[in-house]
């Protein structure tokens, strides 16, 4: 059992009977530490929203129209990539009759706002957001998707959208990938610091 300020001890005993491992485990005691959470930054796709299901269904539909099947191995190679990068991977892997540019155009035409209507939040995501909001923890989103796409996704999830104070998107910059929001956030903070000086 854990108590604040006590040491955490793992016990392998059953029904109160000490096991031969108890003595060994006592050597690995660690103090229970409580840290204060001051802010939280969430990724959106796959963490807050089950958007991967939309991307997978759309990609599979487009590939089917050209006579291809979206396998798990191929899907893995596409995950986390911007549409142009994913299209280039598809062309490289499948040697299809379409070009990367044609695939991207088809993708953009078919990724309409109504696709996000049935997208669910990930298990526990809304509960976590509401819990953090209840404790006045500031929250933001940092994502590699386009800003208009983020607005469309969050439109159907007001418990999430209304509790995020900021959202940084990198998708609008076609040369940057999903990890760039953090870089942009750092640069924004630097500008704010200079403006306030």
| Tens of pLDDT, residues 157-168 | 999 999 999 999
CA angle 150, 92, 49 (to 5 degrees): 20
| Tens of pLDDT, residues 36-72 | 889 999 999 999 999 989 999 999 999 999 999 999 9
Distance in angstroms (rounded) separating the CA atoms of residues 71 and 175: 27
| Tens of pLDDT, residues 84-95 | 899 999 999 999
Q: Is 43 a catalytic residue?
A: yes
Q: Is 114 a catalytic residue?
A: no
2 three-class SS: coil
| Tens of pLDDT, residues 1-35 | 333 443 343 333 344 455 555 555 555 555 665 67
Closest CA to 10 of 136, 18, 130: 18
- Tokens representing 105 are 């155009």
Which of the residues 43, 73, 108, 186 is marked catalytic?
43
- CATH homologous superfamily of 40-50+120-188 equals HAD superfamily/HAD-like (3.40.50.1000)
Q: Does domain 52-116 have CATH number 3.40.50.620?
A: no
Distance in angstroms (rounded) separating the CA atoms of residues 153 and 114: 9
**What is the domain partition of the chain in residue ranges?**
1-34, 40-50+120-188, 52-116
């Amino acid at each position: 059992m854990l108590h604040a300020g006590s040491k955490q001890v793992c016990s392998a005993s059953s029904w109160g009977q000490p096991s031969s491992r108890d003595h060994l485990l006592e050597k690995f005691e660690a103090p229970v530490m409580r840290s204060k959470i001051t802010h939280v930054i969430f990724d959106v796709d796959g963490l807050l929203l089950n958007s991967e299901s939309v991307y997978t269904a759309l990609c599979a539909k487009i590939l089917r129209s050209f006579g291809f099947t979206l396998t798990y191995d191929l899907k893995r190679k596409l995950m986390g990539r911007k549409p142009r990068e994913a299209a280039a991977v598809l062309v490289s892997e499948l040697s299809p009759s379409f070009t990367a540019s044609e695939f991207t155009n088809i993708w953009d035409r078919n990724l309409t706002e109504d696709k996000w209507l049935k997208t669910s939040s990930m298990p526990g995501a809304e509960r976590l957001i509401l819990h953090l909001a209840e404790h006045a923890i500031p929250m933001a989103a940092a994502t590699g998707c386009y800003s208009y796409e983020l607005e469309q996704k969050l439109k159907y999830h007001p418990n999430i959208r209304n509790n995020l104070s900021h959202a940084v998107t990198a998708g609008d910059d076609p040369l940057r990938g999903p990890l760039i929001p953090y870089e942009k956030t750092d640069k924004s903070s630097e500008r704010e610091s200079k403006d306030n000086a």
